[in-house]
Amino acid sequence: MEVIIQPTYAQLVAVSAEIIRDALLKKPHLVLGLATGSTPIGLYEALVRMHKTEGLDFSSVTTFNLDEYVGIRPNHPYSYHTFMKTHFFNAINIPTENCHIPQSTAEAHEEFCENYEEAIVNAGGIDIQVLGIGTDGHIGFNEPSSSLGSRTRIKTLTQSTLEANAPHFGGTVDAVPKMAITMGVGTIMEAKRCLLMASGESKAEAIAHAVEGPITAEVPASALQMHPHTVVIIDEAAASNLKRADYYKQAYANKQKLLSHRE
């Protein structure tokens, strides 16, 4: 696991956006796994800026979103379909048919989940999976106790996730959909590269468990310790519970030095 600690949210966003830009410049048919939540909003803003100012081209990119609530219409103001259109898809030149988001109805969900997995494989697999993290260590909507080998399926959300998402649904927990379709931990682990972003002190405990704790279904993000190419990009506040923060900073500084010698 590579851990990159940046002083601020703006800087962690800049590093994340550069990773995606470099990958896209090398491979125009990039397959991106995308996340919602407040954390990646700055990343999408940065990529939109790169599209507008540098002509970063998304016309051959394919995307797969991690998850979606079950039981709300795709055009619901707080659906992840709406989130992605608002923050990203409507502002770049990606063809609509290249953007995949789990369906927001529970109808025929088993068949849908199988097809979603198949579509990822048919696209050649996910090159970079963007991830946020819940305060309880969840990734996507893989709540604590999710199998670390799980695939795309329906999950019931925990009380803490319902509470965390209540502000998006008018402030009442009752208004938050109780279930979601999410890529599984096993699905995420098959991405060629994972980019886990976290900001703020509220994520410090989850990040410490995910990066330095034991690998356990109690902290689904800890499975990423077994992933061969995961980059954890966090700000100082989210890094504040890490025991080895100084080492990660040193390692990143050395890597930058090495890269600058090569140029």
Least Cβ distance, residue 92 to ligand GLP (angstroms): 20
Q: Is 38 in the site for ligand GLP (CB under 6 A)?
A: yes
Which is it for the CA torsion 242, 188, 38, 20, positive or negative?
Answer: positive
Separation of alpha carbons 31 and 100, rounded Å: 11
Could you tell me the two tokens for 146? 């999710």
56 vs 231 by CB, closer to ligand GLP: 231
Position 158, amino acid: T
| 51 a catalytic residue | no
Binding ligand GLP by CB under 6 A: which of 67, 117, 136, 236?
A: 67
List the one residue out of 118, 81, 86 whose CA is nearest residue 102.
81
C-alpha angle with apex 37: 53 to 52, nearest 5 degrees? 10
56 vs 69 by CB, closer to ligand GLP: 69
Q: Is 222 in the site for ligand GLP (CB under 6 A)?
A: no
| 22 a catalytic residue | no
Strands (E), 106-162: 128-131, 153-156
| 190 a catalytic residue | no
Q: Is 63 in the site for ligand GLP (CB under 6 A)?
A: no
Q: Is 142 in the site for ligand GLP (CB under 6 A)?
A: no
Residues in 91-120 that interact with ligand GLP by CB under 6 A:
none
Sheet of strand 179-182, all strands in order from the earlier edge strand to the far edge: 67-69, 179-182, 153-156
Q: Is 35 in the site for ligand GLP (CB under 6 A)?
A: yes
Please report, as ranges, the residues that interact with ligand GLP according to CB under 6 A: 35-39, 66-67, 132-134, 140-141, 161
Known catalytic residues are: 67, 136, 138, 143
